[in-house]
Chain A
Amino acid sequence: MRPLVTCRNLVWHSGDHQVLDRLDLDLEGGESLALLGSSGSGKSTLLRIIAGLEMPERGEVLVDGQLVTQGARLVVPPHRRQLAMLFQDLALWPNLTAAGNVALGLAGLRLSRRETRTRIGDMLAWCDIPELANRLPGTLSGGQQQRVALARALSMRPRLLLLDEPFGGLDLVTKNSVIHEVAKLKRELSFALVLVTHDPAEVRSLCDSLAVLDAGRIADRGRLDDLSAATLRSTLGQAFTKLLAHS
C-alpha cells in the first residue's frame, strides 16, 4: 500500500546546527504516530515541513504519492495537502468567534454559504461545543479553546492531523477529556495523525506507533505493541518505553 506521507532525505539547519540530517519517514493512512525527541531535535520543524509551512534545504515530501515539496521549492501549497494542524498555542484568531474561526478556516475550500453554515454547525456539534459558536476565544477556557481549534482543523476534512504539543497548557481532567474527544473524532472521521509530545499518557490514548527523532534522523520506529526497551536504539526511546509500560 502507498504511504500517506513520505519524507525522503530531509536536511534542515538552524544557524550552524544541523537539525534534520537526511531524515526519512513514512506514514501510513489512518496511522497514529507519536513523534518523540529531545528539545530542539526538530520535531516541530518536521511537522511544519510536512505541512508546507517550512521548506527543507534538501529532500522531498510526498503526500499520497504526489510530490508536494522538493528541496526549497513548494510544489503544492499547504492548503492543498489535505492536512490540518493543531498548533502549540492553538493559533485561534482572537477577534473572531468560535464559528468565525471555523468559517474563515473554510475560506480556502470555496464552499457555498449554505454549505459553510452546515459545515460549521456539524463541526461545532462534533466537537461538543455548539453553544460556544458566538463566543470569542479570549472568553473561553483552555479546554474549550482546544475544541474550537480542533473544530477548525477538522472542518477541512483532512486526511492527516498534525498535533504540535497542543495539550501542554491543560489541567489533567481537561486534557483527558480533550484527548478522548480527539480519539473519538479520529475513529469517526478516520484520519491519520502525528502527535509531538513528551507525555506517555497522550501516546497511550491516541497513538498506535512511535518514532524517535535523534541526531537529525529517525532513530527508532515501530508499533507501540511491538516495541520494548531492549529493541530500541535511542536512550530517549528506551526511557520512554519504560515509562509507557508503567503508565
Chain B
Amino acid sequence: MTTQRPMFLWRKAVVVGVLAMAIAPTIPLVVVGVTASTDATLWSRSFVEALLASLLLAASVAVLCLAVGFPLGLLAGLYRFRLREFLILLQVLPLLLPSFLLAIGWSSLASLSWLPRFFIPAGFWGTAMVLGMQSVPLVFFTTLAACRNLTATQIDAARLHGGEPTVLRSSAGACCLPAVLAAILAGVLSLSDPGAALILGGRVVAVEILTSFSSLFDFSLAARQCLLLAGLVILLVLPLLVLGLRAFAVAVLARQTRAPAPYVHRGLGRVTVFALMAALFIVLGIPAVGLCLPAVNNPMLGRASQEIERTIGQTIVYSGVAALIAVTLATGLALAVRESVSWRLATVGVLLALFTLPPALGALGVVQTATNGPPQMDWLTRSQFTVSLVLGLRFLPIATLAMMRAVGSLSTTWTDAARLHGVPAARFLGRVILPILKPSLLVSFVLVVVLSSADVTTVLLLHPPGRMSLPVALFTVMANSPEGLVASLCLLYLGGVTLLILVLSLSLKWLPGRVR
C-alpha cells in the first residue's frame, strides 16, 4: 500500500528557502517596473510589432519542434538500432549551443552564390526555423523520458494486441501531453532569445529589450519591456502548468517500474537511424558547413585561439561555480520533496514558471540592486560570483528536474532501513545516497556548465569589466570582426562542446550506478 508521507519542517524550510532564492533576483525589477517613469513610450509601434512577431515566433517554434522532436523521441525510445546511445547523446548538442552560433552558420551559406536564396534562412521565418530546430532536443528528450516511464508490460500487451502500429499509437497517446508541454515551453523560451533574431534579422521583443539596455541605455524602458514580456509569459504558462503539470511531472520524473527494453525491428530501427542523422545534419551539419566556409577562406585560427585563451578561464569559472550552486540546491530540493507528491509538483511548477521568464529579468534586477545597494554588497551584486549565482539560479530548474528524476528512482525502503538501524542522516547521505546519485550529479553538473557557458544575456548584463565569457566575446565581436575570426571561434566552440559531451558519456560508463 503506497502512502504519501507528511513533510518534515526542515524539508519545507529547504524548499521555501531555495525557491525564495530563485525568485529573489526578479523582485527588484518588478518594483522598478511598477514605480519608475520613462521618457520613451512603452507601447511604441515598433515594440508592439515586435511583441506580436514574438508571439507568432513562439507558436511556430513550438509547432516545428513538436513535429520533428515527438516522432523522433518516440522511435528512439521504443526501438533498438545501431549506435543508439551515441546518436541519442548527440541530439542534445543543439540545445547546448548559443542560438546565434547556429544562425551565423546558416547566414554564412549566403557566400555560396550557386545556392538558391530560399535555402538560406533569413528574417522572421529563418529565425523560427533555426530556433525551432534548435529546440527539437527539448521535445525529443521529454518524449524519450516519457517513453521510458511506460511499463514494459504495457508495451508488450500493445505489441501482442496489434503489432507495431498499436505500440506506436498507444505510446504516442501516452507521451503526447508531456511532449506538447515541452514544445510550448520551447516556444515560450524562444520569446526571450535575442541571438538568432539578431543575426537573421527577425524583429522580436528580446532584441528590443537588449537594444533598450545596451544601445539606448534606458534601463527603465528595458525593465518595463522585460516585465511586460514576463507578464505575457506568465499568462501563457500558468494555465498550462495548472492543466498539464501533473502529466508532465509523471512522465518526466522517474517511477520505479520496469522500463521497456528497446525492441528490435529492422525497418523501424533503420528509419530511426536515418531520421536522427537527418535531424542532426539539418540542425548542426548545415550550419557547421556554413561556419567552415569563411573559416577555410580566411582562416584566423591563431586569433581565435587568442580570443579563446583570453576568455575560456572566465567562462569555466562562471559556469563551474554556477553548476556547483545549481546542483547543490537542486539536490537539496529533490531530496526535500522526495516523499511528498504535492510539494514535488508545486516545486516543479514554480521552477518551470521561473525558467520561462526572460533571463534578462533576473539580470536586470541584480543590476538595479547593485545601482542602489551599498558598496559593502558589491561582492554579491557586482562580482564574478554574482554572474555565477544568477546563472546557477537561472538553470536551477534543469538541474532540479534531472535530480528529481534520479532521486525518484531511489527506493524508499533504503531510507526506512536506515531509520530502523539508526544510521545518522549525514552518514547515510554520504555512504549511500550521494554515491548512488553520482552519475546523475555529474550529468546535471555538466548540463548546467554547458548551458550556462552558452548563456549570453545574463553574462552580458552582469559581467565585471574585462571579465567576459567566450560566448559574450563572440557576441560582441561578431558585428565588427572579420567573418573568418567569428566562424573560427564558432567552430572551436562547437568542437569544444561536442568533446565535452563525448567525454561525459565515456566517463559515465566508468562510474558505478546508472542515470535514468
Contact = CB atoms under 8 A, between A and B. Distances in A.
A95 interface: yes
A93 B417 contact: yes
A51 B417 contact: no
Contacts of B417: 85, 87, 91, 93, 105, 152
Contacts of B424: 107-108
A88 B412 CA distance: 12
A53 B420 contact: yes
Interface residues of A, number: 34
Contact of A87 (B416, B432, B435, B436): B416
Interface in A75-114: 77-80, 83-85, 87-89, 91, 93-96, 104-109
A91 B413 contact: yes
B3 interface: yes
A210 interface: no
A5 interface: no
Tell which of A40, A54, A95 has the most Cβ of chain B within 10 Å.
Answer: A95
Contacts of B419: 52-53, 77-79
A42 interface: yes
Contacts of B513: 95
B421 interface: yes
B411 interface: yes
Contact of A89 (B413, B421, B428, B432): B413
A146 interface: no
Interface string A43-57: 011001001111000
B421 A79 contact: yes
A105 B418 CA distance: 7
A192 interface: no
Nearest to A107: B423
Tell which of A19, A48, A105 has the most Cβ of chain B within 10 Å.
Answer: A105
Nearest to A81: B420
Interface string A186-210: 0000000000000000000000000
Given A95-B432, A96-B432, A107 B420 contact: no
B1 A44 contact: yes
Interface residues of B, number: 22
B432 A108 contact: no
A48 B417 CA distance: 11
B512 interface: yes
A105 B421 contact: yes
A11 interface: no
B45 interface: no
B44 to A, nearest CB: 55
A53 B416 contact: yes
A94 B437 CA distance: 12
Interface string B425-444: 00110011001100000000
Given A44-B1, A87-B413, A89-B413, A104 B427 contact: yes
Nearest to B424: A107
B414 interface: yes
Interface string B398-426: 00000000000001011011111111100
B435 A108 contact: no
Nearest to A94: B436
A94 B436 CA distance: 8
Contacts of A54: 3
A78 B432 contact: no
Contacts of B512: 95
B327 to A, nearest CB: 19
22 contacts: A19-B1, A40-B1, A44-B1, A52-B419, A53-B420, A54-B3, A77-B419, A78-B419, A78-B420, A78-B422, A79-B419, A84-B421, A85-B420, A89-B411, A91-B411, A91-B416, A96-B431, A105-B417, A105-B421, A106-B421, A107-B423, A108-B423
Interface of A: 14, 19, 40, 42, 44-45, 48, 51-54, 77-80, 83-85, 87-89, 91, 93-96, 104-109, 152, 156
Given A91-B416, A95-B512, A104-B423, 15 more contacts: A14-B3, A19-B1, A44-B1, A45-B1, A78-B420, A85-B420, A89-B413, A96-B432, A104-B418, A104-B428, A105-B421, A105-B423, A107-B423, A152-B417, A156-B421
